[in-house]
Structure formats: C-alpha cells, structure tokens
Structure 1
Amino acid sequence: MKIENTEEKGSTLSFTLKDARNSQANALRRMAINHVGCFAIDTVTFYENSSAMFDEYIAHRIGLIPIKTPSSGYSETDEIMFTLEATGPKIVYSSELESKDKEVKVANGAIPIIKLANEQKLRIDCKALLGNGEKHAKFQPGIVTYDQEKDGTFSFSVESFGQMPPREIIGKALGSIKDELKEIEKEVKKI
C-alpha cells in the first residue's frame, strides 16, 4: 500500500491510496470522521435572551461552530468555557465567543449566530468538551470521501472544518486505527 499525488490547499488535502482494499480505505475514512477528537460547544447556559429565537435554536447553532483543537494536552474530561454578551441592533458573529483558554478558540469568526434587533440582548456561557463523531456530528473534524478507481486505487479528499489541519485529521485517524488493532491483539492473546 502506498500514498501518492498528495496535494494540500488550505483546509483541503487530496491524495491517492494505491494497492489497498476497500476495507482499508473505508476504515481510514470512518476513523477520520468518527474517532478523531475535537472540541465542540456542548452546553449553553442562557442568562438573558430577548431575541426572537428560542434558546434551543441558538444553542444548536453555537454547538455547530468549529472550535480549534490543539494536537495534544487536553482530555475528554477538560471543559473549556466561552462567554458571549451582545446588545442589538447587530448581527452576532462567532468571533464574539470569548474563550477562557487562548489555545481553544473559535476556528472561524465569520459565522453569524443571530441577528439582534434594537435593544435585544444575548448573554450566555458555553462549555466546550472534547468528543468525537461517534458521540455527535458536531465533534467531526471534517469531511472525508474517496472515489474508487477500477484498478483498486482510491482518490481521497479530506476537508477540515477548521478545528485542525487535514493532515492532522489523517494522522490522528491512523493513530486510532493502530489503537484499535492493539486492543484486538490484546484480546486475541487472552484466547
């Protein structure tokens, strides 16, 4: 098995996987989507919301905002707090979510959250957790697809949502595959 034709442009990585089986290509794709840890806002506490939108609607939108995820130093027990205070008239953007941790912050500040009319207010606290795509789609680091050619090669495309570079997504996916195989090996040795 070998990787060729690697090309990285911004948040997208493309490469060709040769001499691989369907199961290997699909394992890489699935691990990249479901087993790479990313921060996402999981809990939103509303102190004031005089906008026309329900709390749940705003919380759902905020939960889908990509959060930068450092490559190491954090675990699934870590909680990163964000705050937001805004008064209309204005459009509230993701850049207004202020993190208590300078390493873990909003990946794209240009995402509109809500439009506030004159004198409408929004004041919230948010808690970001480290999770993976198995738990919820908001923890997925990006989109990973492949096309299978007739000769058994697979043309992969990895597009990051901004939490981490696409190369890191693939690297962490490979690490997850190794960890899973070690677990299987450990269990087989017990037989």
Structure 2
Amino acid sequence: MEISVESEDSRRMSFALTGSRAGFANLLRRYAMNQVSTFAIDKVVFYENTSSLFDEYLAHRIGLVPLKWAPGFKPEEEVVFTLEASGPASVNSGMLQSTQDKVKVATERIPLLKLMQDQNLRLEAKAIQVAGRKHAKWQAGLAAYEMDGNKFNFKVESFMQMAPRDMLGRAIDMLEEKCEELDTDLASLSKGGKESKKKKKEE
C-alpha cells in the first residue's frame, strides 16, 4: 500500500492510494471524518442576552465555531470561553476569549450577531473533545475518494481545527491501534480454542 500526495495546503489535500482495496479506502475515509476527535463548544451559559437572537439559536451558532488546540488534553477535560459585548457592535468569533492558551478559535472572522444600541451580551461557553461521529461540530473535516482502476484518488478538506495531513495521520494511527487490538483478541481466541480441544482429548 502506498500514498502519493499530489497537492496540499493548510486546508486541502489530494493524494492517491494504491495497493489497497475499496474496503480499506472507505474505512480510512470514515475514520478521518467520524473517529478523529476535536474540540468544540458543547454548552453555553447566558448571563445576559438582550440581543434579537434567542439563546438557543446563538448557542448553536457558537458551537459551530472551529477551535484549534495543542496536544496534551484529556478527553474529558473542559476548556472555558467567555464573551462580553455591548452595542452597537458586531460580535464575531474572535471575541470568544479562552481561559487556556493552548485552545483558541481557529479564525476570528466568523460573524455571530450584531448588537444594537443598549443591547448587551455576556456568556460562558464550555468546550470538550469528542469524536466527529457525535455531531458535525466535532468533525475535523471531509474526506472523499474516486476509484480509478486500482487507484483511489482522495480529497481531504479540513474545517480549520487541524491540517488535513494531521487529520489523515490521526485516522491512520487509530486504524493501526484497532488492528493491533484485533490481532490480540484473535490470538487470545485461538489460544483458548486450542486449550479447550486439549482438555477434551485428555478427558
């Protein structure tokens, strides 16, 4: 099996996978989208919101803001963001302030809402790290491929939480771990079966 990178930048990557079968290519695609974990805002507590948007609508919009982070966080660890603004003002993703330097918004230019005169917004948001299969906001990006004979032409696009190469690398690492677990389980079953046959012969 061989991977040949054809083009790559910070958001997109194209590569050809050869020497593999369709089943593995599809497994790699699904792992890249559904099994790779990212940080995303999961809960929002509003202390004040006199804007024209309902709390639930604004919380959903904030939850879709992509977050970048450095390695070293435990899966259950929470990271808190705060936001405080008064109108008239345009509120964007860059106004979400993280309490952890290693976790921050991936881009500061996403518009969230506009506050008119005398309108105020004050909130606290909690982000957690979860696999992409739970919700689209935790997906690291998209992965797709086309078959060309014995070659699978992949296109990977990141949602800005990580580079597409990192997204692919994490998916491959997870697949390797699963294969090792499967080998261990199969070896254990095989050993147990042999011991069972041996006991029956002795009886």
Structure 1-normalised TM-score?
Answer: 0.95
Shift of 1:148: 1.3
Query: What residue is the counterpart of 1:179 in the other structure?
Result: 177
Shift of 1:146: 1.0
Q: What does 1:1-20 correspond to in 2, within 5 Å?
A: 1-20=1-20
Query: What residue is the counterpart of 2:68 in the other structure?
Result: 68
| CA–CA distance in structure 2, aligned partners of residues 11 and 43 of structure 1 | 27
Shift of 1:5: 3.9
Query: What residue is the counterpart of 2:193 in the other structure?
Result: none
| CA–CA distance in structure 2, aligned partners of residues 69 and 181 of structure 1 | 28
> C-alpha offsets along residues 10-30 of structure 1, whole Å, 9 cap, x if unaligned?
311111111221111111111
Unaligned runs of 5+ in 1: none
Q: What does 1:40-59 correspond to in 2, within 5 Å?
A: 40-59=40-59
Secondary structure at the aligned position of 2:105 is classed as coil
The one-letter code matched in structure 2 to 1:182 is: E
> C-alpha offsets along residues 13-68 of structure 1, whole Å, 9 cap, x if unaligned?
11111122111111111110011110000110000000111111101001111000
The one-letter code matched in structure 1 to 2:13 is: L
For the Cα contact (< 8 Å) 2:2–2:19, is it kept in 1? yes
1:153 aligned residue (144, 148, 151) = 151
Bigger-Rg structure (1/2): 2
Shift of 1:95: 0.2
Question: How many percent of aligned residue pairs carry the same amino acid?
Answer: 44
Secondary structure at the aligned position of 2:30 is classed as helix
Unaligned runs of 5+ in 2: 190-203
For the Cα contact (< 8 Å) 2:86–2:118, is it kept in 1? yes
Query: What residue is the counterpart of 1:165 in the other structure?
Result: 163
Query: What residue is the counterpart of 1:78 in the other structure?
Result: 77
Query: What residue is the counterpart of 1:188 in the other structure?
Result: 186
Shift of 1:190: 2.8
For the Cα contact (< 8 Å) 2:5–2:13, is it kept in 1? no
| CA–CA distance in structure 1, aligned partners of residues 182 and 37 of structure 2 | 21
Shift of 1:182: 2.0
Q: Report how many aligned residue pairs link the two structures.
A: 189
Secondary structure at the aligned position of 1:105 is classed as strand
Shift of 1:117: 1.4
The one-letter code matched in structure 2 to 1:154 is: F
